[in-house]
A and B are shown apart, each in its own frame.
Chain A
Amino acid sequence: METENDAQTQTAAPPAERLAYSVQESADMLGINYYTMYRLIQRQKLKTCRVLRGKLLVPRVELLKLLQTNLM
């Protein structure tokens, strides 16, 4: 007998790729420390956007760009 949970598992779509991450999440993904992330942001090597209350978000596309290009 199919339970409600089974049905949910079968129909659940894969989680959508997030568009942006917090500075801390981004640092963890890149394997660098938090301070270095803020350094990159301050020096505009990494573009961010601010959401409500001024929280910084790093767009996923910017993280990929950072990995694909030289920092200079």
Chain B
Amino acid sequence: MNSNHILTGQEERIAVETNAVFAEQMKHFKNSCDEIHGIESNLTTIGNEAFRTALLSPGRTIQTDDGTEWRHDFDLSKITSICHRRIAGKIEFAVIECLSLPTGEAKEVLNSGHNVRDVLREFIRDQKQILNLWKDDVKAQVSEHLIENYPHQDMSYVVESFEAKMERVISERQSLAQNRSRGMRV
């Protein structure tokens, strides 16, 4: 595939129409990217804050579905938070997800460890894999949409341009996060 291909007039028109069809999904995708990269940008601050809270404040108790008890330190998003517990004099940190489903709430430990920054880094790595899964699925949906609407026509460049758009959403935010994170270390 030629990455330098410039879309023809017809491809451009179809790309605009495709963007409109998938606009709602792109909005959600961008919001999720912002959320993750917001955490990544402030990883040091969040880590320090969680550590400080763990030392100073008991925090409210959260019992996960596996029966373990944690103390809440810091909300990462609407459904994820950093928590801690003490085991044999050591503090263990965890990212805990509280997911509301029609049947009730599920509380699960996503990542855990003694170094809060490592726990956060692992969490961010996992979240980026989820974004990639999402991106690949949307790309497949775009392909399907174009095949249904423009049968017997090669729409691969339109699919490619849509995928590139999603990759830009991820990479632009990642660069911002890395720049902010570097700035903080200085």
Contacts and interface: CB of A to CB of B under 8 A. Distances in A.
Q: Which 9 pairs across A and B sit closest by C-beta, in order of nearness? A: A71-B106, A55-B140, A54-B140, A72-B65, A53-B143, A53-B140, A35-B32, A34-B28, A42-B130
B133 A38 contact: yes
A36 B133 CA distance: 12
Interface in B37-85: 65-66, 79
A50 B144 CA distance: 12
Q: Is the interface on chain A under 10, 10 to 19, 20 to 34, or 35 or more residues?
A: 20 to 34
B109 to A, nearest CB: 10
A36 B130 CA distance: 9
B65 A70 contact: yes
B161 to A, nearest CB: 16
A42 B129 contact: yes
Contacts of A20: none
Q: Is the interface on chain B under 10, 10 to 19, 20 to 34, or 35 or more residues?
A: 20 to 34
Interface of A: 22-24, 30-36, 38-39, 41-42, 50, 52-56, 66-68, 70-72
B136 interface: yes
A3 to B, nearest CB: 31
Contacts of A30: 101-102
25 contacts: A22-B141, A23-B137, A24-B25, A30-B101, A31-B102, A32-B100, A34-B25, A34-B32, A35-B32, A35-B134, A36-B99, A38-B134, A42-B126, A54-B140, A55-B141, A66-B101, A67-B101, A70-B106, A71-B99, A71-B101, A71-B106, A71-B108, A72-B65, A72-B106, A72-B108
Given A35-B130, A72-B66, A56 B137 contact: yes
Contact of A67 (B66, B103, B129, B140): B103
Interface in B5-53: 25, 28-29, 32
Interface of B is mostly: helix
Contact of B99 (A23, A32, A53): A32
A34 B31 CA distance: 11
A30 B108 CA distance: 19
Contact of A53 (B103, B108, B144): B144
Contacts of B79: 36
Nearest to A33: B28
Given A32-B99, A53-B144, A55-B140, A39 B130 contact: yes
